[in-house]
């Protein structure tokens, strides 16, 4: 379910610090680039989701989930170290790949390991995880000043 929490976290991670990030990285006021930072995550997620079933079938659910963690960590590190628009957009895209992969595999894995009697109830764990991740991102945004945006991005890599 951590993949679902990561999904939610990355949905909401930029709600607080986006304007400051844009200012520090030199693309403040450029709406197309602001949108690019946000949408690069979704583009990566779409590609990750499209390839997720192939990864799950080739490597198995458990190994597939481990594989999906690599782009999640790599993307978080890249975002935390970003010094330009391309770096932060690439970090968002890479985390999107991981989120897309895990969004396919988490429900499959839960359905396969859940007892038949609990399968329906446990199917909602993914959605609860996404909502929990959004909540965690908002709390982290509140606890850390927007000036500490690199810490907000790095936090995704340790979760």
The answer to whether 29 touches 158, Cβ cutoff 8 Å, is no
> Residue holding tokens 């995550």?
41
pLDDT digits (tens, 9 = 90+) for 54-65: 999 999 888 999
Closest C-alpha among 106, 81, 65, 84 to residue 25 = 84
Gap between the Cα atoms of 93 and 87, Å rounded: 10
What is the token pair recorded at 57? 């079938």
Long-range contact set of residues 106-111: C-beta below 8 Å, sequence gap at least 24: 106/1, 106/3, 106/4, 106/65, 108/56, 108/61, 109/61, 109/62, 109/65, 110/1
Work out the pLDDT band at 116, boundaries 50, 70, 90. Answer: confident
The model's pTM is: 0.91
Q: Average the pLDDT over 36-59 and give the result.
A: 95
Q: Provide the residue ranges of all domains of the chain, joining segments of one domain with +.
A: 2-158
pLDDT digits (tens, 9 = 90+) for 75-101: 999 999 999 999 999 999 999 999 999
Question: Does domain 2-158 correspond to CATH entry 1.20.1250.20?
Answer: yes
The answer to whether 41 touches 99, Cβ cutoff 8 Å, is yes
């Amino acid at each position: 379910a951590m993949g679902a929490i990561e999904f939610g976290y990355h949905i909401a991670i930029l709600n607080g610090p986006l304007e400051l990030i844009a200012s520090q990285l030199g693309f403040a006021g450029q709406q197309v680039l602001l949108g690019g930072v946000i949408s690069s995550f979704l583009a990566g997620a779409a590609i990750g989701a499209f390839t997720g079933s192939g990864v799950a079938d080739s490597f198995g659910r458990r190994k597939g989930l481990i594989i999906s963690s690599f782009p999640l960590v790599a993307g978080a590190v890249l975002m935390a170290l970003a010094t330009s628009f391309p770096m932060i957009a690439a970090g968002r895209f890479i985390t999107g790949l991981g989120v897309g992969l895990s969004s396919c595999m988490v429900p499959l894995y839960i359905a396969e390991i859940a007892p038949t009697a609990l399968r329906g109830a446990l199917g909602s764990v993914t959605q609860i995880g996404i909502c929990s991740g959004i909540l965690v991102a908002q709390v982290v945004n509140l606890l850390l000043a927007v000036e500490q945006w690199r810490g907000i991005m790095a936090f995704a890599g340790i979760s």
